[in-house]
A = this chain, B = another copy of it.
Amino acid sequence: MRTLSDEVAKHLTKPVTIEGWLHKKRLMGGLAFINVRDRRGLVQVVVQDKEEVEKLRGLQIGTVLSVTGTAVEEPRAPGGAELHDPELTVLMPVTDEPPIEIDKPLSHKSEHLETLFDNRVIGLRNLQEQAIFKTKAAVTASLRDYFKTHEFTEIHTPKLLAEATEGGAEVFQLDYFGKTATLAQSAQFYKQIMVGVFERVYEIGSTYRAEPSATTRHMSEFLTVDGELGFITFEELLNIVGGLLIHVVNDTWKSSEKYFKSLNVPKAALPEKPEDIPRITITEIHEMFLKATKEDHTAEDDLAPAEEKWICEWAKKNKGSDAVFVTGWSAKSKTFKFYHKASADNPEIAERADLLFRGVETTTLSMRQNNYETLVAQLKAMGGNPDNPGYAAYLSAFKYGMPAHGGFGLGLERLVEKLLNLNNVKEATLFPRDINRLAP
């Protein structure tokens, strides 16, 4: 009967059998200390018997073991107990030394990232790497929990499309039974269509961008969290998105504090209520930044990365918030997409915001144009052709009745990166894909 690592302490003075991987090995004179890893963590085993120590000498890290020993209290050991007088049984031997050391934190410095990813299969067995993906799983669960509470229906939309409409460039194309298909760059059209069905929908799904850039922010395959809701106002949308971030931060801290701590990451600072997340217009940020740094971006329609970083630091210091809503986006610049909606009060301004978190944009949200004629007019004005078959299904949803609605998109790996203070989205991806990497 197997005992899991965190339950050894429940069996003090009794014989216990654990199963797992040889994770660490220290030989000290005639003594040996080993750590055995299972799905819940580590068990320390003290080996004194000469024969067993000899047996250990030949065992490589990664060897799959069964260990039967006596559970002994030891406050310094993981879980507060260790095994003594063990009998080791090799369940599956390992003959070669692993290509990467897994019993200490792996370097995530930019000059070592390629080594990290080349050796990903074994490197992920490291507990600090595991902590990233345990947290990612917790973030995903907490997002779904929020969506469920707020009555979003989960949907799955196709990633194989007839043609690219949004974007156009940076699309992967493939041969589809003699026709050309593209990989979805976004679930934008489908999630809006589905508002006409379920009113509130979400999807956590794969997104593809043929990004010809090798940066810390770009991957060719990543996960997007898409939400879309009908019968709402821009104000309500801001609060839904702000509430989502607050929920994820609190909930993952609750479920995964030990992983945050193993990575030395503090809990993000956020107001209790989404209404209290600072809302600052892009014009105000340009002016504040100019005043503070003498760097002038006031003529630009978008924020410079330095401004995003600066305003987040400002908000952290002055408002106690790691998050900032950037509002006041122009409805007359190319940041305004054909499906966006201008404010009824001020047609110069889009009902759109970016949610910055720890220095970068993590989420874009906007109200959508829901009037069929206006939508078609906006599409044409921006050079789109409503007769393009790629728009047909999307536009038909509006022709047959769409309520006021809005939504948001959020890069899952980007969010995990910022939650864990990583430097690169790829560190939050099991097997990242970019212009140079398609394996492992």
Give A residues with C-beta under 8 Å from B.
2, 19-22, 38-40, 60-64, 91-92, 94, 96, 98-99, 120-122, 124-125, 129-130, 133-134, 136-137, 140-141, 144, 148, 151, 153-162, 172-177, 179, 181, 183, 190, 193-194, 196-200, 205-206, 208, 210, 212, 220-221, 223, 230-231, 370-371, 389, 392-394, 396-397, 399-404, 430-431, 433, 435, 438-440
Q: How many copies does the complex hold?
A: 2
B122 touches A396 (CB 8 A): yes
A212 touches B121 (CB 8 A): no
B121 touches A196 (CB 8 A): yes
Partner of A174, one of B19, B40, B125, B172: B172
A400 touches B181 (CB 8 A): no
Tell me how far the C-beta of A431 lies from the nearest C-beta in chain B, rounded to whole angstroms.
5
What chain B residues lie within 8 Å of A63 (beta carbons)? 401
In the complex with contacts A156-B430, A158-B433, A371-B92, A125-B197 CB distance below 8 A: yes
Tell me, in angstroms, the Cα distance from A397 to B230 when the chains sit together: 47
What chain B residues lie within 8 Å of A22 (beta carbons)? 401
In the complex with contacts A96-B399, A162-B438, A404-B91, A148-B156 CB distance below 8 A: no
In the complex with contacts A393-B440, A399-B96, A172-B162 CB distance below 8 A: no
Tell me how far the C-beta of A61 lies from the nearest C-beta in chain B, rounded to whole angstroms.
8
Tell me, in angstroms, the Cα distance from A44 to B62 when the chains sit together: 65
Tell me how far the C-beta of A389 lies from the nearest C-beta in chain B, rounded to whole angstroms.
7
A401 touches B94 (CB 8 A): yes
A403 touches B174 (CB 8 A): no
In the complex with contacts A122-B400, A140-B154, A198-B130, A181-B92 CB distance below 8 A: no
Tell me how far the C-beta of A167 lies from the nearest C-beta in chain B, rounded to whole angstroms.
16
A176 touches B181 (CB 8 A): no
